[in-house]
A and B are shown apart, each in its own frame.
Chain A
Amino acid sequence: MGTAEQTAAVPPTDELSGLIAEVLGVPEAALTEDSGPGVHESWTSLKHVEVVVVLEEHYGVALSSREIKSLTSIAAVRKLLAAKGADS
């Protein structure tokens, strides 16, 4: 399982990255811990909304607008979910 400390170049291969890859419609291997909105070309603002929706659905969390803005990478998503007690 990936962690927030994972090296950026290493593709994350776990449930979280799988979920995000599914939303973005890209292979999981195309994502790294640094992938995020505006960084990965498929991660558009609309897709970011979908990512938020999936995170809330899947992990049963509620995100504030500040937290949504803070999700700038998969690593950041992982960190936030961990802080909310959700196991990603």
Chain B
Amino acid sequence: MPLPLTDVAADLRALRAAHQETERTGPPGGPRVGIMASYTADAVVPYLATALGEAYGRPDFHVAPYNQIVQECLDPDSGSARAGLDVVVVAQRLEELEDGAWTAGLTAVADTAREAAARWGATLVAVLPGLPAADPQGVAGDCRADGRTAEAAAAREAMRAALAGRPDVHLVDLEAVLRSLGATRAHHPALYQFAKVPYREEVFHHLGARVAHVLRLRTGDTCHAAALDLHGLADAEDVDGFGGVLRWLSTAGVPSYALGGRDAVPVWRDLVASDPTVPARLSDWFFDDRGRDAQVRGLAADAGLAARDVALLERREDRLVVTVRPAHGGQAETVDLGADAAAWPARLAVAGVFDLLPVPGAPRPVAAAPGGPVAGDAVPEAAGGLSLAAFVAGLRVETDFRAARPGDLAKINEMLVASKEFTLGVPIPPVTVDDLAAGGDRVLLLGSVRDRLGDLGPSVVLALAGRGPDCVVEAFVISCPAMGKGVEVQAMREIAAHAQAMGAGRIVVGHRDTGRNHAAIDFLGSPTAGGTAQTPDGALLDLLVRAETPDTEAVTTS
């Protein structure tokens, strides 16, 4: 239940290994947790899983393709829509939104995610984006009311206002993580450039912990009272530190109790002498011969609580340690507030031991229809009128296809190997210059994609071969940044146009399920593909989609 402190190094490798180990223990029995982010957020999974601990059974994660939050939310056939999610974590970075329109963009994402979660009957955990790392205007940006940081702050608060206080919606602030770690320790520009991973592992660790924290708070996994064991307080600095902790608890509204054996009475006197308001800040105090456990049980009973609702603060050697017992049972968890007595109150606050979620003021939304949306349902309109079609149209995506040239081969072969999400999964040998020169009924196409947010560059590879009356699609690859933007449909039209030019009456697409290429398989089986493929001039060609196995003869390009 306590949050990890950012100034205490955690063994992240051990956490990842522990998660990897639990993944081998059989099928997950816990909640289905969906992760949708505008960046590559897979790294949060092991930390969220371990932070949820044994509270709910091992979670089953579904990580959506990156930067497709709105599409995943609006498309009734998306992987997230069909995953039966209990929890949806949505993390949109401002940097992936259109410049100058952060507030509108972020609010649209928030509304779309909230409505999707309600339709799916899932709890939404929305991540408030961090402030961008660098302001291109430098210090001058600080002086501008319409500067980048000002706009980011406004967008964040608009998102908070749109979601705060709603039932089944919780907010987690990524900026709190970035601030506590520091920008240099938080961002990873090289990994972002390489794989759209903007943050270092520590960020994902603490983000996962915060998401888990709100989910555990949701089920009452928090402490409602504090027991301060005065035994072992050594000197005036300790007494001052304890006094500070007590003042913080009092301000936070946490009922607090001092306890100890008879030998703690002198410390109690020092505490009261240093701060005469101490007795008024305490609900009660006990200094007697009962054991500590008996004292805690007694004060809990007096307060109408269970003993596990009481956090115990005690001196261990030169440190102050808080022990809490999870609501679901299991082993007690501890948080080490360190040896610096002056820092104890602040560290106690950061640990979140006594956090409480606000009670939503709004009524619960109408429950989703049993079974949720089914294939063929019309795409539901969001409250703001945003539909999937409107969203995709608004991206103003343009795809230019052209015949591959020798200079494209390195990029094409890299895409054929590296693309895992939208690919047919049927291995094909690397394309060579000879393949390009072969001509005949063989076509190798490279598609470049751009939208209103920028130029995505070469993003589509199509390899087609005429075989009698058929046009066989040997490769159909779309890179991750171009997925979910209607490029799939444009590529199908391009395939149909070339099939028509070949004189083919049918398009044949074989695929293998690699476990990761469901985006491609789902598209080919979707109503959009629908057993036909339309050429740009409106002609319809039959489309045969067939699943292959590794035993099936591999499609070759030569």
Q: Which residues of A contact B (CB under 8 A)?
A: 22, 25, 37-38, 44-46, 48-50, 52-54, 57-58, 62-65, 67-69
Q: Contact between B13 and A57 (Cβ–Cβ < 8 Å)? A: yes
Given A22-B17, A49-B40, A49-B43: A65 touches B193 (CB 8 Å cut-off): yes
Contact of B420 among A44, A50, A52, A62 (CB under 8 A): A44
Q: How far is the CA of A46 from the CA of B41 in the complex (A)?
A: 10
Contact of A53 among B43, B418, B516 (CB under 8 A): B43
- What are 20 of the A-B contact pairs (CB < 8 Å)? A25-B20, A44-B420, A44-B516, A45-B195, A46-B42, A46-B195, A49-B40, A49-B42, A49-B43, A49-B191, A50-B43, A57-B12, A57-B201, A63-B190, A64-B190, A65-B194, A67-B190, A68-B190, A68-B191, A68-B194
- Chain B residues within 8 Å of A69, by CB: 194
For A71, the closest partner residue in chain B by CB is B194
Given contacts A44-B516, A52-B194, A68-B194, 11 further A-B contacts (CB under 8 A): A37-B418, A38-B417, A38-B418, A44-B420, A50-B16, A50-B43, A57-B12, A57-B201, A63-B190, A65-B191, A67-B190
Does B197 interact with chain A (Cβ within 8 Å)? yes
- Chain B residues within 8 Å of A44, by CB: 420, 516
Q: Contact between A45 and B420 (Cβ–Cβ < 8 Å)? A: yes
Q: How far is the CA of A70 from the CA of B418 in the complex (A)?
A: 14
Q: By the criterion of a CB under 8 Å from any partner CB, how many residues of chain B are at the interface? A: 20
Shortest Cβ gap from A30 to chain B (Å): 16
For chain B, residues 108 to 158, give those with C-beta under 8 angstroms from any C-beta of chain A: none
Q: How far is the CA of A66 from the CA of B207 in the complex (A)?
A: 28
Given A22-B17, A38-B418, A57-B12: A49 touches B190 (CB 8 Å cut-off): no
Q: Mark B406-426, 1 if CB is under 8 A from A, else 0.
A: 000000000001101000000
Q: How far is the CA of A65 from the CA of B197 in the complex (A)?
A: 11
Q: How far is the CA of A77 from the CA of B418 in the complex (A)?
A: 19
Q: Mark B35-46, 1 if CB is under 8 A from A, else 0.
A: 000001011000
For A49, the closest partner residue in chain B by CB is B195
Q: How far is the CA of A65 from the CA of B188 in the complex (A)?
A: 10
Shortest Cβ gap from B101 to chain A (Å): 28
Q: Mark B206-237, 1 if CB is under 8 A from A, else 0.
A: 00000000000000000000000000000000
For A25, the closest partner residue in chain B by CB is B20
For chain B, residues 339 to 362, give those with C-beta under 8 angstroms from any C-beta of chain A: none
For chain B, residues 1 to 58, give those with C-beta under 8 angstroms from any C-beta of chain A: 12-13, 16-17, 20, 40, 42-43
Q: How far is the CA of A69 from the CA of B20 in the complex (A)?
A: 25
Q: How far is the CA of A62 from the CA of B342 in the complex (A)?
A: 35
- Chain B residues within 8 Å of A54, by CB: 13
- Chain B residues within 8 Å of A49, by CB: 40, 42-43, 191, 194-195, 197
Shortest Cβ gap from A18 to chain B (Å): 12
Q: How far is the CA of A44 from the CA of B42 in the complex (A)?
A: 13
Shortest Cβ gap from A83 to chain B (Å): 16
Shortest Cβ gap from A73 to chain B (Å): 14
Interface centre among A37, A45, A50 (most CB of B within 10 A): A45
Q: How far is the CA of A22 from the CA of B21 in the complex (A)?
A: 11
For A44, the closest partner residue in chain B by CB is B420
Q: How far is the CA of A11 from the CA of B189 in the complex (A)?
A: 33
Q: Contact between A52 and B417 (Cβ–Cβ < 8 Å)? A: no
- Chain A residues within 8 Å of B418, by CB: 37-38, 45
Q: Contact between A53 and B193 (Cβ–Cβ < 8 Å)? A: no
- Chain A residues within 8 Å of B193, by CB: 65
- Chain A residues within 8 Å of B189, by CB: 65
- Chain A residues within 8 Å of B16, by CB: 50
Interface centre among B16, B194, B195, B417 (most CB of A within 10 A): B194
Q: How far is the CA of A60 from the CA of B502 in the complex (A)?
A: 56
- Chain A residues within 8 Å of B197, by CB: 49
Contact of B201 among A45, A53, A65 (CB under 8 A): A53
Q: How far is the CA of A74 from the CA of B246 in the complex (A)?
A: 55
- Chain A residues within 8 Å of B20, by CB: 25
Contact of B191 among A25, A52, A57, A58 (CB under 8 A): A52
Shortest Cβ gap from B414 to chain A (Å): 8
- Chain B residues within 8 Å of A53, by CB: 43, 191, 201
Interface centre among A50, A65, A67 (most CB of B within 10 A): A65
Shortest Cβ gap from B319 to chain A (Å): 26
Q: How far is the CA of A49 from the CA of B191 in the complex (A)?
A: 7
Q: How far is the CA of A63 from the CA of B190 in the complex (A)?
A: 7
For A37, the closest partner residue in chain B by CB is B418
For A67, the closest partner residue in chain B by CB is B190
Q: Mark B181-204, 1 if CB is under 8 A from A, else 0.
A: 000000001110111010001000
- Chain A residues within 8 Å of B194, by CB: 49, 52, 65, 68-69
Shortest Cβ gap from B43 to chain A (Å): 7
Interface centre among A53, A58, A69 (most CB of B within 10 A): A53
For B20, the closest partner residue in chain A by CB is A25
- Chain B residues within 8 Å of A65, by CB: 189-191, 193-194
Q: How far is the CA of A82 from the CA of B16 in the complex (A)?
A: 26
- Chain A residues within 8 Å of B201, by CB: 53, 57
Shortest Cβ gap from A51 to chain B (Å): 11
